[in-house]
A = this chain, B = another copy of it.
Amino acid sequence: MTTSTHISAHPAHPPFAAPAMADLGWRNTDATVVSERIAGSLRLLQQAVTIQRRLVHAGDKIYEAGQPFKYLYVLNSGIFKTINASQDGREQVVGLHFKGDWLGFDGIARGRYGCDAVAMDTAEVWCVSYTSLCQAAATQPALMALLHESMSREITRDRDSLLSLCTLSADARVADFLRYWAESLAQRGLRTDQITLRMTRAEIGNYLGMTLETVSRALTRLASKSLIGFTAKGRRDILIPDVTQLVAFIESSLPAARTATLQ
């Protein structure tokens, strides 16, 4: 019993953080930095626990909602989507996952996975037994930190999705989706000028909370503004000449009165 039952009423807030921050370097999404972090994470993981590698192809499911939880999965290459389903028929793409991302966190709490994890192309996943991971984490602080950071990042990412969904128009959401995809690739050192979406319009629409027709129209409008382009060999590949212009478009399409709403 080491509890400090000291109730500090109003003043002398002990564990309250500093009033504000001046440096804005805390959103570190720099490409090389992220790339190195992922590489280091994989290295650490590889040394710390027993891993089983597994090759999968587009459409394969790593796990499904309802299955007993036992493993966490780390993506070494390829792209995954996670699909959430509710008791009634609704189902939705709730996440996209790239190299270095973890899959299966949602299974920890209930002991069963809460969604489906589906490969979107050929991919290599590392399977890690959750119990052995926990045992290893107990003796290796760096491993525990890695695990927590990954979960934390997942939470942050989900909230960013929520924010986009609630505050952006359809066109801006599509633009934000492309920005996110390009950024994810860039952070992992992959080429970002031409990206191949491995999703149908229906899937994109489902992920963004709109219909496939709206996705199609939004892409057409973005292309007509030269914010994106299509390749000659199909409209599944998308060219992004300048990501900063996409960001500018997203910001310009704000109703400009989003700050006054909350107290």
Taking Cβ atoms with an 8 Å cutoff, the residues of A that contact B are 1-10, 13-21, 26-28, 46-47, 49-55, 59, 62-64, 66-71, 83-84, 86, 88-95, 105-115, 127, 129, 134, 137-139, 141, 144-145, 147-156, 158-163, 165-167, 202-203, 206, 208-209, 250-251, 254, 256, 258-259, 261-263
Interchain residue pairs A-B with the least CB separation, the first 3: A17-B67, A108-B152, A166-B209
| CA distance in complex: A261, B83 (Å) | 12
Q: Is the beta-carbon distance between A6 and B138 smaller than 8 angstroms?
A: no
Q: Is the beta-carbon distance between B90 and A167 smaller than 8 angstroms?
A: yes
Secondary structure call for the A interface = mixed
Q: Is the beta-carbon distance between B145 and A148 smaller than 8 angstroms?
A: no
Q: Is the beta-carbon distance between A88 and B262 smaller than 8 angstroms?
A: no
Chain B residues within an 8 Å CB radius of A155: 105-106, 151, 154-155, 158
| CA distance in complex: A189, B93 (Å) | 33
| CA distance in complex: A52, B13 (Å) | 10
Nearest-CB residue, chain B, relative to A257: B89
Q: Is the beta-carbon distance between A52 and B6 smaller than 8 angstroms?
A: yes
Q: Is the beta-carbon distance between A63 and B162 smaller than 8 angstroms?
A: no
Partner of A262, one of B71, B206, B254: B206
Q: How far is the CB of A191 from chain B (nearest CB, A)?
A: 26
Additional A-B contact list (6), CB under 8 Å, known A2-B49, A84-B160? A8-B55, A88-B258, A94-B159, A105-B155, A138-B141, A154-B155
Known: A83-B262, A254-B90. A106 touches B159 (CB 8 A): yes
Chain B residues within an 8 Å CB radius of A163: 84, 86, 90, 92, 94
| CA distance in complex: A95, B160 (Å) | 12
Q: Is the beta-carbon distance between A109 and B165 smaller than 8 angstroms?
A: no
Chain B residues within an 8 Å CB radius of A90: 163, 167, 254, 258-259
Chain B residues within an 8 Å CB radius of A156: 106, 109-110, 114
Q: Is the beta-carbon distance between A14 and B52 smaller than 8 angstroms?
A: yes
